[in-house]
Structure formats: C-alpha cells, structure tokens
Amino acid sequence: MKGLILAAGLGTRLRPITSLKPKPTIAVANKPLIHHAVDNLVEAGVREIGVVVSYLTLNSIKETLEGYPGVRFEYIMQNPPQGLAHAVKVSREFLGDESFVMYLSDNLFEHGITEFVNRFRPGESNAVMALVPVTREAAKSLGVAVVDGERITKLVEKPADPPSTLAVAGVYVFDSRIHAMIEGLAPGAKGEYQITDAIQRLIEAGDKVVPVTVRGWWKDTGQADDILDANRLLLTRLKRDVQGETDNATLIGEVVIGAGALVKDTTVFGPVIIGAGARVERAYVGPFTAIGDGCTVRNAELEYSVVGNRTVIDGVKPRIQASLIGEDVTITGHDSRPATHRMVVGDESRIALHE
C-alpha cells in the first residue's frame, strides 16, 4: 500500500506564520506537522509516499523531509491546488493501481492511523473513511457522513441541516476504483474537485465505503489556536528527558531538554519541551510550551506557547501567553502593561516592546 500526503496548500488562515513557509512545516511539540503524518504512515506499514506539493511549497517540504529514514518520497506537482480529488488525479502515475492512504498533512490523530488502514479489506471494501463525532453546529461547516451499519450511505458537504454529526476527518484509504470516480467529476462552488463527490459516486455505484470512528482526539490545525491546542495535546505524552545542561534550574513535572541546551536560573513547569542548543536563562517557562532548537529565552516569561527555531525572546515581561511565534524572530522589551502578551508572529520578524 502506498501513501499520499497532501501538502500543496498555502495555509492562508495561518498567516503571518505561513507567509514564508507552508503550514506542514510548522513545528508542533518541536516536530513539523508533516513529520507527524509520515510517522503515522510508517507506523501503519506505509513506506512509499507521494507528497503532493505546489511550486510555492516544494522546496520547503523537500527540505523538511530530507533525511527522514526508511521512506521513499516522490514529489508530485499540483499547481495550482484544485481540491483533494484533483490531488489524487495528478498522482495517478505514482499510485498506479495500488491501494493507498490519503493523508491531509495538517491533521493529527491521538492514536495514529493504523486502525483505519487495518480496516481496509481489498476485495471486500473499496474505501475506508475516518469519521469523528462533532456537535450539530460544528457539522454545518464540515463534510458529514450518514452511516448504516458497516457502510457509509451518503456524504454531504457543509450542510445547513446536517443529516448526521459524524464529520469527515483527514485520512482516507482507497482502492483503484476511486480513479474512475474522479474522471469527469464536476468542480464544486469554489472551482475545486471534492473528494467527497468522488466517494459519493462510489456509494451510488454500489461500492462499499466503510466508516471508522476516530478514537481519542483529532485535530485539524487550520488556525493558530488549533496549533496551540495540538501542541498541548502532544505535550501531555512527554516523559522527562534531560539531555542538556541545567544550572540552578527548577524542573517540575515532565520536561524535555534537548542535547546542547542550557537552562540556567530558570523555573520550568512541565509539560515543556526545550529544543537542542537552546539557551534559557533567568526565565519562567510554564506548562504546554514548546521552545524550538537554537532559541534564546532570557529575562522572560512564557507559557502555553509555541516558539520556532532560532528565535530570540529577551527582556519581555509580563508574560507571553497563548502565542504562536515563528522561526528566526527577535522580540525584545521590558516590564510593561498589560499583564500578559499574546501574539502570532511570522518568521524573520523583529518586535520591540516599549512603554
């Protein structure tokens, strides 16, 4: 079985974080989103993976995946992106007639995707879809599935009156029948070719589409708050691992400190991850914070935040909280009002806080 990761979109809802890099390269718990996707595919036994990219995302995605062990990647151009079904269509040569897992690169699953892959039975089912229970209000802005026993009988995109509260999550397993369903597919309202329309064709043709309900949490990391929440959820898995150096540091709870890092004159309340080569001095680092590789945090307080690689935060008080800060950012300041700062800062920014 092959894998297909979709990584051609620009992630416009996450700007300015995605102004200089694509969303799948954003780190959550100090690991790029697309690495989480590849990890899940490898765990499910998939090691030949097509990555659908555009001209604007190709270089960043290739650089992020370079050196990932034991996987053969093939990069497939989708320029411009025209929906999920279109991504499958442009991947036809790579996929051949094999079954495949299609994975949206910005989706995270607490228990991975092995269960969905294992539920696919060649010759017995033509597709497997991951579904997640949501509120009725949330269902109005998502694709939802109507289920009858072991079959999905209908799919509806963003219904005003949802026929169910089982929303389509970001992983699918298909056999080669899906290609025939995509041929001749009409575009939707935004000019995109919807994979749900192709799957509905499968259903109407009498093919079997199997529902599998997601166990545990599922996150679609479409906006800054989603990234922060995904980071929180992933950090709850941490086990203490201190490889770097500490000097007069108080570490409470599950704290990970990468090799070559220095944490000095600082209190850290876990769960927290501090990347390799980082320097954290005379600081407070609160729960659910990820500090990237090579960062400097000095004379500052932060919690429930994600800080990208090589960023410098120096002399910023009061506390930075619930913030998503990109790579190679410099933030300097001093004691001032308000009691906390909250920010979303794109890569290579410079911010000075003054009274």
24-78 per-position pLDDT tens digit: 888 999 999 999 999 999 999 999 999 999 888 899 999 999 999 999 999 999 9
pLDDT of residue 16: 67
**What is the phi/psi pair of residue 129, to 5°?**
-125, 135
pLDDT of residue 252: 97
Find the helix or strand (DSSP H, E) in which 158 lies. Answer: none
Per DSSP, the three-state class of 207 is: coil
Distance of alpha carbon 187 from alpha carbon 194, whole angstroms: 7
- Provide the CB-side half-sphere exposure for 306 (13 A, CA): 28
Query: In the structure encoding, which two tokens stand for residue 155, read together?
Result: 């799919």
pLDDT of residue 13: 66
Where, residue-wise, is CATH 3.90.550.10 in the chain? 2-234
Given CA atoms 309, 328, 233, 54 in this order, what sign does their dihedral have? negative
**What is the phi/psi pair of residue 16, to 5°?**
-90, 0
CB atoms within 10 A of CB 308: 28
What is the 3-class SS of 238-297, one letter each residue? CCCEECCEEECCEEECCEEECCCCEEECCEEECCEEECCCCEEECCEECCCEEECCCCEE
pLDDT of residue 187: 85
The CATH number of 2-234, from 1.10.3720.10, 3.90.650.10, 3.90.550.10, 3.40.50.300, is 3.90.550.10
pLDDT in tens, the chain (355 residues): 999 999 987 766 667 666 667 788 889 999 999 999 999 999 999 999 999 998 888 999 999 999 999 999 999 999 888 889 999 999 999 999 999 999 998 899 999 999 999 999 888 899 999 999 999 999 998 889 999 988 999 998 888 999 999 999 989 999 999 999 999 888 877 788 889 999 999 999 999 999 999 999 998 887 888 899 999 999 999 999 999 999 999 999 999 999 999 999 999 999 999 999 999 999 999 999 999 999 999 999 999 999 999 999 999 878 889 999 989 988 887 655 555 565 566 666 555 565 5
Where, residue-wise, is CATH 2.160.10.10 in the chain? 239-352
pTM of the prediction?
0.88
CATH architecture for residues 239-352: 3 Solenoid (2.160)
Q: What per-residue string of b and e applies to 68-89 under the rule 16 or more CB within 10 Å gives b?
A: eeeeebeebebeebbbbbbbbb
Distance of alpha carbon 52 from alpha carbon 74, whole angstroms: 9
pLDDT of residue 11: 65
User: Who's near 185: CB < 8 A, 6+ residues apart?
Assistant: 85, 193, 194, 197, 198, 201
Distance of alpha carbon 290 from alpha carbon 232, whole angstroms: 9
